[in-house]
Every structure is written in C-alpha cells, then in structure tokens.
Amino acid sequence: MKTLTVDLGDRSYPIHIGQGLLNQPELVRPHVRGTQVMIVTNTTVAPLYLDKARALFDGFEVADVVLPDGEQYKNLDTLKLIFDALIEKRFDRKCTLVALGGGVIGDITGFAAASYQRGVNFIQIPTTLLAQVDSSVGGKTGVNHPRGKNMIGAFHQPQAVIIDTDTLDTLEDRQLSAGLAEVIKYGLIRDAEFFDYLEDHLLHLLARDKDQLAYAIERSCWNKAEVVAADEREAGQRALLNLGHTFGHAIEAGMGYGNWLHGEAIAAGMMQAGYMSKLMGDLTDDDLRRMADAFTTARLPIYPPDDMSPERFLELMAGDKKVQAGTIRLVLLKAIGKAYVTGDYPQELLLRTLQEWRKPA
C-alpha cells in the first residue's frame, strides 16, 4: 500500500492506494468522528461493494442511501435524497458521510457533507479510475445545473481517501478508458516524463495490470495533490487541471449529460486545446500526433461530436464556470508537459479550432 498526504494545513488528509484496502477497517475508522456513518452509493456499485463497505464500519450506526447511477442524476433533486435520508435517520452534525462510487457519487456526497448542518465529516472510497485520479483529490464538490456543470457546490476536503485498486476489476472497459483520459492529462499539463511512461504502458493499464495501475494512480494523485496544495481555491495554478475541460464540458452539455462520459469529452477537448496550441505556434505536428496516439491507444475519442457546430460550442463555452466577465479562458499547451491559462488569444484561432479539428469526412 502507498500513502500520499495532501498537504492543506489543518485540512490535510491521506490517500491510501493499494489492493485489498476494502478489507482494512483500520484505514477508515480513525477518520469517523461521531457514531453515525451514512454510506452514499449508486445502484451499480451497491451490489458489488456496499456490503464490504458497511463491514468496514462495523460497530458504528451505519446507514446507506443508494442513488440512481449517472451524471444526469448529479443535481439538486438527487442531493435532496441524501438530506432526506440523513434527516430521516436523525443523523447529527458529528456524523460521517462515505462516498462509495465514481465521480458523481463523490461530488454529490461531498457537497452533501459540506452543507448538511453546515458541514460534516466525509470519507471517499472512489471505485472508478476517473474518481480515483481526479474527483477524490482536491475538495471540489458539487452538482450540475441543467445549464452548466458543477455550477453549485463547495470546497470541502475529505478526512481520508481509500483507493482499492481491486474495485477496478469490475469497471467497464469504457469507464476505464474514460479514467485514462485524466491520467494522460497529468502528463500533458505538467509531467512530460509521466507522458513518456504512459506511451509505453497504456496497454498494460488497459489490461488492468495492478502494479502499473497503482503506479499510474499514485503519480496522478501526486500531481494533482501538488497542484491543489499550491492553490486550494483555484486562484491560479489549479486552473491548469482544466485542460480540455472548457471544450469537454460543452460536449457533455451539448450531447446531454451522460451520453458522452466526462473522460471521453475531455479527451476530445484536450485534442481541441492541442490543435489550438499548434495554431498558436507552440505544439508541433509531432506533439499533436503523440497526443492523438495516446488517446486512441486508450480507446478514447479525439474528435468532437459531428453534430456540434462551432456556434453551439461557443454558446455552451460562454456559459462555462471558467468564463470571467465574458472572456472564455482556456488552458493551452506550450509543450507536452507544460500547460498555461490564457484569456488573451486571437478569437479567430478559437474559431478555426472549432471549425478545423473535426473528424475527417
């Protein structure tokens, strides 16, 4: 087992990574403050891991709430189901919420923990690769609004994150690939050496080699933890984590939440950002080819959906959270392993990107 610490002063917390961690109650029990534990999961994960998760908290008053599965349920109405369950069981302000599932479960449970009685304890047990390398690190929680992703939420750090790589055994291939999109992202934004490693090991990761998965998860979490520790509230550096996300969020919203997976949308979005970086004169054709090869090897899309016009992109991107007073801020690449944020680019290059980086007819 590997343990990383996310260094946030008095809100620091450990991330444990390894096999069989769902059989190790000693990892989670020190992080339960009161006597009441509410496990939040979904209809896909519950049959697989809910019993194991409940057993981790043997001796506490354990309850659970099983939500419908899917990004389309990451909204205020589903959030309310968690509050209803907590109030129904008379859970007090010393209770602990446990998120057992993917990114949607982590985000919505985290926001419930941030706002139930103005804040209760929170433990994350992410069961998808995406959640393990992304949404379980950094304290961002929230739900979607019909007109924009993650528009409503809070910064709320967990007490601990438990990543049991065995849970990846039951993950659909498509979800595994979606998680690799975020893994590749860390290489692209700040860790060229990791990108080199991934070019050689993506096939091992797709084959679910546990040692390689643990390494890739650890290095991804380490990268994210470094960024978050330097910039908890996203004033600066943290925005780099959004590479491909402004494009990708537009795809997710435009196609209807849940149709394109988040990882699929940001893979195409990272290629759009890469193409624009080439137009800006920073990436080479070879860089772009390496990116496309990596995403293709990971079985991810590299082009946006055919039926989303440049105009539709612009409309949706203008509604994104990262817009500041009308300017669409983008994360672009100076090189593989070196991202930057800018609102100062020729508008024409964004338009050309939306027009030109499309699946060849």
Residues tagged active-site? 118, 140, 182, 224, 234, 238, 242, 245, 249, 262
The H or E element spanning position 229 is helix 210-230
Distance (Å, rounded) from C-alpha 179 to C-alpha 219? 14
Q: What's the closest the beta carbon of residue 208 comes to a second copy, in angstroms?
A: 34
Amino acid identity, residue 345?
A: Y
CA 115, 120, 121, 125 dihedral sign is negative
13 is known to lie in a ligand binding site: no
Q: What's the closest the beta carbon of residue 32 comes to a second copy, in angstroms?
A: 12
Name the residue nearer to a second copy (CB basis): 110 or 179: 110
Distance (Å, rounded) from C-alpha 32 to C-alpha 208? 32
Residues that bind a second copy (CB under 8 A): 34-36, 76, 80, 83-84, 87-88, 90, 92-94, 111, 114-119, 140, 142, 145, 147-148, 150-155, 233, 318-319, 321, 323-325
* Other Cβ atoms closer than 10 A to 235: 9
Q: What angle (nearest 5°) sits at the alpha carbon of residue 298, between those of residues 136 and 149?
A: 45
16 is known to lie in a ligand binding site: no
Name the residue nearer to a second copy (CB basis): 51 or 92: 92
127 is known to lie in a ligand binding site: yes
CA 26, 31, 32, 33 dihedral sign is positive
5 is known to lie in a ligand binding site: no
Q: What's the closest the beta carbon of residue 276 comes to a second copy, in angstroms?
A: 22
Distance (Å, rounded) from C-alpha 121 to C-alpha 328? 35
Name the residue nearer to a second copy (CB basis): 78 or 175: 78
Helices 347-356 and 310-318: crossing angle, nearest 10°?
130
Residues in binding site for NAD(+): 69-74, 103-107, 127-128, 140, 149, 167-170
Q: From the annotation, which residues make up the binding site?
A: 69-74, 103-107, 127-128, 140, 149, 167-170, 182, 245, 262
Residues annotated in a binding site for Zn(2+): 182, 245, 262
